[in-house]
């Protein structure tokens, strides 16, 4: 039986059961070199083929005893294969092959150990022999390899087939979500000249809280207090930042402040927002099917959400014409909505939002768009990834209205970088600007109390 015909889809959820397993291969010095891995990959492929010829689909979906039976089969076939080829391997090398074959059957092949390592935030497969990870905000290359492009494609198929997605020359890119919530992007030739590329953004099983972010020095207690009052006081907030700056992490933390008795609708391309409240409806967009039909966009879902009697709408990210529908929702009684946007500063955020509204296809005058933005958005929270890999809230800015043709902003808190120490760590502090925001009345009317001193005094 050829491994390409084996029904791997029955076992892909096994990865979620083992995600808590702690591994250290990615954080310590590698125990097996890349050259050695390439050599062992050949034997792994032979053993995998022979094992699949002996086992059945039912065995791979079974309990621990059946998994142990498969492991015994792997060891027996491996020893027989080595004897037939007159090859000697150390016990460590045999154990490496055994685990690789188990990972090919039950998990996601060579990258299984990376997905199980809680220290790894992102896994990037740039073709079969270039696998990178991000840990602590820094990207580095690993010694892990795939055998070839076909091996990468086999793992891609294992990842996306159970999710009802496909990737081929006619549809060479796909966004998907693993059962544990991790976000997956796949792009293959002819769009990728490096061969098949996989990018997996992992998310913690337990999302970071605001207290965690204070501990990481992403923001300070005063900023957290203001943001909590803003969310509970039904301010409309945008979390703005670049790729990998921590926008979704911060959005998750802010959403925890939404009262539990409110109905929340979340809308995303791939569900990442992890709300802890009970009354949550999660909506996810859908790509077109093989006939090019059935596509459901974020914009479609935003429009539909307005008919679902939401108290809050949380959009994972606005990136197209849905920005107009989101603004209209915010301007028609859906206060306290949250979303993220790609932008490098609060001012850039306003400009990008304006551009996204134009993508809705409505011939709106520029001033009308800016008036919509000024009326809908109350607060912009800007997050950046610093040179040392840490994430910081660098500004909390209030949208105050219009002056002529310009949307006006005022900074309430800023991060002031002081220096970079000898270890490359960014040293600085969050400081209030002394400006008391105009939204104080709104949050007070919604039952939140906030002292003006928090904006004017340097220390709490």
Buried b (16+ CB within 10 A) or exposed e, 183-213: bbebbbeeeeeebbbbbbbbbeeebbebeeb
Nearest to 370 by CA among 408, 345, 399, 407: 407
d(CA 236, CA 335): 6
pLDDT in tens, 239-268: 999 988 989 899 989 999 999 999 999 988
For residue 1, name the pLDDT band (cuts at 50, 70, 90).
very low
> How many Å apart are CA 458 and CA 460, to the nearest integer?
7
Position 236 scores a pLDDT of: 95
- Domain chopping of the chain, boundaries: 3-201, 210-456
- Res. 9 pLDDT band, cuts 50 70 90: very low
Please provide the DSSP assignment of 56-73 as one string: -HHHHTS-HHHHHHHHHH
- pLDDT of residue 459 exceeding 90: no
Query: Looking at the predicted structure, is the pLDDT value of residue 5 above 50?
Result: no
Q: For position 24, what pLDDT does the model report?
A: 38
pLDDT 10s digits, 422-433: 888 999 999 999
Separation of alpha carbons 366 and 374, rounded Å: 12
What pLDDT shows up at residue 164? 73
> CA 254, 258, 262: angle at the middle one, nearest 5?
150
Question: If you average pLDDT over every residue of the chain, what do you get?
Answer: 85
Per CATH, the number for 3-201 is: 3.30.450.90
What is the mean pLDDT of the segment spanning 68-72?
A: 86
Q: What is the CATH number of domain 210-456?
A: 3.40.50.300
Does residue 18 register a pLDDT over 50? no
| 453 DSSP assignment | H
């Amino acid at each position: 039986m050829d491994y390409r015909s084996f029904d791997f889809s029955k076992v892909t959820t096994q990865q979620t059961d083992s995600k808590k397993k702690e591994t250290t291969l990615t954080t310590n010095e590698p125990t097996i070199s890349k050259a050695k891995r390439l050599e062992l990959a050949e034997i792994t492929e032979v053993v995998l083929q022979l094992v699949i010829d002996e086992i059945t689909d039912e065995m791979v979906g079974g309990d621990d005893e059946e998994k142990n039976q498969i492991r015994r089969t792997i060891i027996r076939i491996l020893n027989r294969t080595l004897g037939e080829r007159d090859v000697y391997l150390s016990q460590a090398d045999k154990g490496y092959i055994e685990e690789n074959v188990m990972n090919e059957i039950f998990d996601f092949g060579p990258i299984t150990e990376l997905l199980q390592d809680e220290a790894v935030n992102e896994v990037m497969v740039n073709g079969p022999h270039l696998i990178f990870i991000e840990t602590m905000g820094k990207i580095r290359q690993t010694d892990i390899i795939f055998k070839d492009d076909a091996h990468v494609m086999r793992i891609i198929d294992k990842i996306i087939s159970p999710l009802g997605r496909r990737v081929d020359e006619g549809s060479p890119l796909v966004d998907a979500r693993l059962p544990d919530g991790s976000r997956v992007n796949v792009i293959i030739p002819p769009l990728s000249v490096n061969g098949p590329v996989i990018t997996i953004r992992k998310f913690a099983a337990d999302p970071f809280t605001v207290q965690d972010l204070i501990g990481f020095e992403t923001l300070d207690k005063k900023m957290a207090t203001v943001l909590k009052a803003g969310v509970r006081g039904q301010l409309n907030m945008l979390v703005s930042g670049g790729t990998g700056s921590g926008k979704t992490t911060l959005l998750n933390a802010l959403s925890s402040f939404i009262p539990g008795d409110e109905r929340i609708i979340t809308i995303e391309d791939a569900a990442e927002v992890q709300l802890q409240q009970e009354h949550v409806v999660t909506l996810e967009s859908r790509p077109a099917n093989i006939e090019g039909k059935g596509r459901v966009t974020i914009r479609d879902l935003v429009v539909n959400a307005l008919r679902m009697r939401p108290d809050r709408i949380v959009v994972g990210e606005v990136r197209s014409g849905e920005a107009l529908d989101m603004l209209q929702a915010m301007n028609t009684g859906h206060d306290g909505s949250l979303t993220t946007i790609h932008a490098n500063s609060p001012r850039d955020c306003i400009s990008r939002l304006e551009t996204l509204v134009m993508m809705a296809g409505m011939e709106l005058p520029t001033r009308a768009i800016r008036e919509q933005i000024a009326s809908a958005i109350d607060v912009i929270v800007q997050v950046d990834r610093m040179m040392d890999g840490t994430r910081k809230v660098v500004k909390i800015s209030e949208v105050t209205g219009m002056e002529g043709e310009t949307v006006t902003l005022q900074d309430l808190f800023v991060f002031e970088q002081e220096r970079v120490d000898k270890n490359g760590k960014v040293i600085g502090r969050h400081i209030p600007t002394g400006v008391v925001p105009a939204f104080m009345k709104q949050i007070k009317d919604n039952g939140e109390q906030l002292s003006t001193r928090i904006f004017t005094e340097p220390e709490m």
